[in-house]
Structure 1
Amino acid sequence: MNNTPTRLLIHGASGRMGQALLRLAAEDSLLQVVAAVVRKPPAQRVVDGIPHFAASELAGVPAFDVAIDFSLPEGFDPVLALCAERGAGFVSGTTGISERQQAALTAAATRIPLVWATNFSLGVAVLAELVERAALALPGWDCDIVESHHVHKKDAPSGTALTLGEAAQHGGADPRYASLRAGDIIGEHFVQFTGLGERVELVHRATNRDIFARGALHVAGQLVRRAPGQYRVRDLVAPPANA
């Protein structure tokens, strides 16, 4: 077993996810944050022992194994290009990227291992696999996906619901969607398969936003052991068989 810490670059470190990643990585002896990148020149160059860089200084960051990117679409291209140049893994949850940027991901995956996902919850990753298996096993059954989030969430259906729908479609189902916006719900996803006289229900409930940061850190740790390619979170829930 390799106990050498995975060296991480956190890109978008001043955001909510970036702050959670920094906090949780500090609790894991197998992870080492070697640089944190923020949009503007930082007020402090070193915070809790971690060097901070402005986005414009990205080329000057020290060596790293994997970059974790939760930033904005305009910051996506430079960090992906840096990973490809240095042969480092790339993990991103940045939303709103364009078709051109999706194509850049596909191209980079020929050189480095990478993951781009709408949701880094490990539980949701397992749920997607169960949904696909249920759809395969229950041909002809109705498939409904109901997602619930806080009142401030604008997009509907959620990206996670659409990802679950893609899993259902891979299994041959034709999913329908419903969205609820209420209170401060972090995220709930309910998938129902209904046949004559019976139904199967699969559900995931998030009660703490840290699950998304923990999932991204887990994926980053697994990615360093992988060959170049574009992976899903569900591919990386468990370590590779030869680890």
Structure 2
Amino acid sequence: MSVKIAITGATGRMGRMLIEAVTQSADSVLTVALARPGNPAIGQDAAAFLGKSSGVLISDDINQLANADVLIDFTKPDGVLKHLGVCRASGTRVIVGATGFDDAGKAAIADAAKDIGIVYAQNMSVGVNLVFKLLDVAAKVLATGYDIEIVEMHHRMKVDAPSGTALRMGEVVAGALGRDLKDVAVYDREGITGERDPSSIGFATLRGGDVVGDHTVVFAGMGERVEVTHKASSRMIYASGSLRAARFLMQQSSGLFDMQDVLGLK
């Protein structure tokens, strides 16, 4: 039986990529496509940009989320939290691909997971989540004598920094070393900074052009440097990972999960 998928932000870059992935999938079907009120595409077929007919019209009625098994939401935190309330009431599972949540937002997601299945991941890419696993191993092996820096670059339109993926990489590395990222992260360097604190994890953020997403974690030792890198060339990797998460969620009635759970890496 096909998984009924709802997509928010249906006219955005990620929304369109998700719609394309669903239309190409053999085991999922698009049932809801949402956009913000006033969007000129409202009333149009959701797959019109592909030259296809999906039979689903773009709408601004969030109550339609009840007509889906799983919502895939890459919109901004305020939108996600609004949609989450409707999904919790209707029993619709949720995949949260948005980043930039504060502690209250993360707590709201965790609370909703008491009633519905939720996959919340800062990056839905299968490859990136494999990198998370590799970083855990690398950090434990290189725990002494190596300085750790994280460099990320995204397109000029990205609104949050560092990226959610970079922060998650930092959390994975810090956790493997028995540290709390909040205590050791360094986000700004300017002027006379003094020597580098060996326990710190530094972040460098680059923005420009149409870069989908590049991330590198550097373990710099004396005489050698180990770098773990992931480069994304298409947003389709996030869409494909989201559909994999949707299949996983259909086996979960409630609970909070991430892509490590989806991929069986824990």
* Other-structure match for 1:11: 8
* Corresponding residue of 2:68: 64
Residue 108 of structure 1: how far off its partner (Å): 0.9
Aligned partners of 2:157 and 2:9: how far apart in 1? 22
Distance 2:157 2:6 in 1: 30
Q: Deviations over 1:121-150 (max 9, x none)?
A: 211111111111211222223212121233
Partner of 2:257: 231
Q: Would you tell me which structure has more strand in proportion to its own residues?
A: 1
2:66–2:87 Cα contact (<8 Å) kept:
no
The TM-score with structure 2 as length reference comes to 0.78
Aligned to 2:239: 213
Tell me if 1:88 matches 2:85: no
**What is the rounded CA distance, in whole Å, between the counterparts of 2:143 and 2:246 in structure 1?**
36
Deviation larger for 79-88 or 59-68: 59-68
For the pair 1:130 / 2:142, whether they are aligned, the reply is: no
Residue 37 (structure 2) pairs with residue 32 (structure 1) = no
**Which residue in 2 is equivalent to 1:104?**
108
CA distance in 2, matches of 1:124, 1:194: 21
Q: What CA distance in whole angstroms lies between the structure 2 residues aligned with 1:225 and 1:62? A: 18
Paired residues of 2:100 and 2:164 also in contact (CA < 8 A)? no
User: Percent identity between the aligned chains?
Assistant: 35
Q: 2: distance between equivalents of 1:60 and 1:153?
A: 28
Match of 2:217 in 1: 191
Partner of 1:156: 161
* Deviation sequence 1:181-228 (CA, Å, 0-9, x none): 354332211112233433322110111122222222221222212352
Query: Contact conserved, 1:8 with 1:34, CA < 8 A, in 2?
Result: yes
Q: Which runs of 5+ in 2 are unaligned?
A: 48-52, 180-199
- 221-230 vs 204-213, which moves further: 221-230
- Say whether the 8 Å CA contact 1:38–1:52 is kept in structure 2: no
C-alpha distance in 2 between matches for 1:78 and 1:180: 31
Partners of 1:35 and 1:62 within 8 A in 2: no
Structure 1: runs of 5+ lacking an equivalent: none
Give the Cα–Cα distance (whole angstroms) in 2 for the partners of residues 233 and 22 of structure 1: 20
Quick one: distance in 1 between partners of 2:57 and 2:66?
11
Q: Shift of the alpha carbon at 1:30?
A: 0.8
Partner of 2:44: 44
Cα RMSD (Å): 2.5
SS at match of 2:56: strand
Aligned to 1:38, what secondary structure does the other structure show? coil
Alignment partner of 1:77 is 2:103: no
Check whether the contact 1:118–1:159 (CA below 8 A) recurs between aligned residues: yes
Aligned length: 236
Q: Secondary structure at the match of 1:52?
A: coil
* TM-score for the superposition, normalised by structure 1: 0.85
Q: Distance in 2 between matches of 1:106 and 1:184?
A: 33
Does residue 23 in structure 1 map to residue 28 in structure 2?
Answer: no
- Does 2:117 correspond to 1:113? yes
